[in-house]
Amino acid sequence: MKLFIVRHGEKENDEIKSSLTDLGRQQAQKLSNVLKFALIKRIYSSSNLRSIQTAEIISRNIGIPLQIINLVAELPREMFFLPPSEWSAEHRMLMDNLKKFIAELKEKDEDVVVAMHAGINRAILSILLNLQLSETVHFTQDVACLNILEYKEIYGQKRWCVKLLNSTHHLE
């Protein structure tokens, strides 16, 4: 199983409901050209507009329908700087929803694309690599980046392995 984790393309502004810019749409198109050659079975997006727009471009280009995951939302920045013991009930709910979504993906055992945001991408890496969320702030997530993780057997155990992290080579 491979998980292709992408960040949305360039956005108009920092408002939560901002759209992709023309450059952001071009970035998503370039990203979809790379993903066209993978054996992707499903495409998921958070309910955020710019992630949906990015995923729609990928979906059209590779011919796989998009599924929007309403329970997955961008994490508040403060979560990355607080120990889990100090998270609010809302913080815990956001992380629990993400863990549930990841567990469902793993159960399906298919190669999938998830189009999200920098914070969610870092949280996914935190969950899959068994890292504290605070440790993932060091993982840059540029716009329209591609991360690839593979669930495979290594040293006699199945585990998530990083194949690619924050790649923007496709944008050059």
**pLDDT of res. 110:** 96
Calpha distance 15→142 (Å, rounded): 17
Question: Residue 166 above 90 pLDDT?
Answer: yes
**pLDDT of res. 17:** 85
Across 127-141, average pLDDT: 96
For residues 117 and 69, the answer to whether their CB atoms sit within 8 Å is no
CB atoms near residue 33 (< 10 Å)? 13
**pLDDT of res. 16:** 78
Cα 118 to chain centroid, rounded: 8
**pLDDT of res. 122:** 97
For residues 57 and 28, the answer to whether their CB atoms sit within 8 Å is yes
Across 100-117, average pLDDT: 95
**pLDDT of res. 47:** 92
Give domain limits for the chain.
2-150
**What topology does CATH give the domain 2-150?**
Rossmann fold (3.40.50)
**pLDDT of res. 15:** 83
**Lookup: tokens for 32:** 């979809």
Across 69-95, average pLDDT: 94
Mind listing the pLDDT tens digit for each residue in 12-29? 988 878 899 999 999 999
